[in-house]
A and B are shown apart, each in its own frame.
Chain A
Amino acid sequence: MSPEIVAALLLSVRVALCATALVLVPGIYLGRLLARRSFFGKSVVETLVSLPLVLPPTALGYVLLRLLARDGPFGEGTLGFDPGILFTWKGAALASAVMALPLVARTARVAFEHVDPRLESLARTLGLSARRTFLRVTLPLARRGLLAAAVMGFSRALGEFGATILVAGNIPGRTQTLPLAIFQSIQVGRDDEANVLLGITVALAFAAVWVVEILMRGAPGER
């Protein structure tokens, strides 16, 4: 394997891990909100959460690009400094996180829906506050589904292309993740390299989906 391929693989894993870390807490929060609460405008929130699934990734990438630009709402003019996220691996991680949010939130929602709400109520009657009930009853009972959500987010981030290329560019060794490297190999006609990259990507994706399948199969019947 050439050093470029290794660099792309390592960068991809780093970006995907960071994206997962970024998206996990908001994803779990949204999943919990959608699974347990009913509130005015819930269907709007549901739709908004799922929107990145159906929007072209380039559209979202463009939005992020505008938001994070030096003269944008999160740029020098408002923050007083340039966060310097654009065209770095951090930008790739952020773009991947936004793209992974729908899958994480939806999988987390299913995980919470499988927890019997009566167990949560019962924990309250036994003296546990809402927060302690969440930590001691809900989270442990939903743990397999939440782990599956994390793996889903990780795999989605690993495959992210459209938003990443707009926000982070395609700089070999710095922002070039596996999907971007495949794109470049094909463009310049290095088929051998493209095949190796393809093999690695398929292996990673296969492993991730397999883990999710195993986790989700165990989740609902866990009693």
Chain B
Amino acid sequence: MSFAIRIDLRIPLDRFELALAWETDARFLGLFGPSGAGKTTLLEALAGLRPAARGSIEVGGRVWLDSARGISLRPESRGVGYVPQDALLFPHLDVLGNLSIGRGRALASAGARLSPTRVLEVLELTGLEHRSVGALSGGERRRVALARALLSGPELLLLDEPLAGLDAPLRDRVITYLLRVREEFGLPAILVSHDVVETKLFASEVAVLSAGRMLARGSPEEVFLRPGMEGGPENVLRGSVRAVERGAAHVALDGGVEIVTPGQGLTPGAEVRIGIHAEDLMLAEESPARISAQNLVAARIRELREEAGRVLVVVEVGERSLPLAVAITPLARERLALAPGRAVVLVWKAHACRVWVARVSPPGRS
């Protein structure tokens, strides 16, 4: 299923003009940047809520905006599933009322027609249908907002910082729901975020926005390794659980490497994302013997860079040369005499891995 988004927009704002051209075939896009960069404005323009926007928007072969030809679809005809930052549930409706408000379009449109039962199941909202909106917790509110968007027959999901303002444990739970939605329904989506991990977990292509301009775009693995990129080098890997034994899980990464993570809550076949801080990775000249760390992975140094008093080493692992960032001290660099092209061993504990389950078992097996 090919799905293309072509955006060429200019929107005058108070402080600057947002000008952005973005053409991509990727289904899961990340829009990354600091607060005030114009991310939300761009989402609103896509949703048809910014009448001042000029230029063109084409989504999945349909023209939403072409100011040269005088075309501008109304918000209700564009087919976006907009999830605003603060959930913004309708206070006069209960959960079911909120979820069914977009049903009319879902039944009439060519957009995704998802089963309400399945959406409620995936987002674990079953049983909450008759709750009043005021009685929901922060995490529940976000899930209801997400379900409401999914059930409105959208062609493109617009997720505006769905994790902003949540505390760390809740963030991890909501991330899991986002990943489930991504894997289960596969709807094209744009995720706005200023969190590297969140963006890397969700997006297959990222645009970095600053003061209304696109600074960089590319795969999340590469974009965030560029010099001076805000947010820091956080590693996020994809893989599937091969086996679970004695508190540890063996996870096969996309690039043909197998690693060990904590096994709690994991079952064989689960699709997972693994986060590892650059500071938690160690480099060794040769494979150390008799060490408690479970992960010893052969790697090759791509580049070294000094940044903010530390050395950032970008190494490549596996057949697909998956880049990983390792942060070490300048002293360590000197002692090991590290240089580009050198073979090293990457060492880390299973418990340095944070694990998110994107799908419990692969399609066809559930």
Residues in chain A within 8 A of chain B (CB atoms)? 116, 118-119, 121-129, 132, 136-137, 140-141, 222-223
Contact = CB atoms under 8 A, between A and B. Distances in A.
B153 interface: yes
B76 A222 contact: no
Given A118-B84, A141-B91, A222-B91, A123 B47 contact: no
Nearest to B97: A136
Contacts of A141: 90-92
B90 A124 contact: no
A133 to B, nearest CB: 8
A125 B75 contact: yes
30 contacts: A116-B88, A118-B84, A119-B88, A121-B44, A121-B47, A121-B75, A123-B101, A124-B49, A124-B76, A125-B47, A125-B75, A125-B80, A125-B81, A125-B82, A125-B152, A126-B76, A126-B102, A126-B149, A126-B152, A127-B79, A127-B102, A127-B105, A127-B152, A128-B101, A129-B76, A132-B104, A136-B101, A137-B92, A140-B92, A223-B134
Contacts of B90: 119, 123, 137, 141
Interface of B: 44, 47-49, 74-76, 78-82, 84, 88, 90-92, 101-102, 104-106, 109, 134, 148-149, 152-153
A116 to B, nearest CB: 8
B109 A121 contact: no
Nearest to B111: A127
B44 to A, nearest CB: 8
Contacts of B74: 124, 129
Most-contacted residue by chain A among B76, B78, B84, B88 (CB, 10 A): B76
A131 to B, nearest CB: 11
B49 A126 contact: no
B153 A125 contact: no
B43 to A, nearest CB: 10
Nearest to B102: A126
Nearest to A136: B101
B281 to A, nearest CB: 42
A126 B91 contact: no
Most-contacted residue by chain A among B81, B90, B91 (CB, 10 A): B90
A118 B81 CA distance: 15
Contacts of B44: 121
B102 to A, nearest CB: 4
A122 B88 contact: yes
A25 to B, nearest CB: 22
A65 B109 CA distance: 55
Contacts of A223: 91, 134
Contacts of B152: 125-127
B76 A125 contact: yes
Given A140-B92, A222-B91, A127 B49 contact: no
B91 A127 contact: no
Given A121-B75, A223-B134, A127 B109 contact: yes
Given A118-B88, A122-B88, A137-B90, A128 B104 contact: yes
Contacts of A121: 44, 47, 49, 75
A127 B84 contact: no
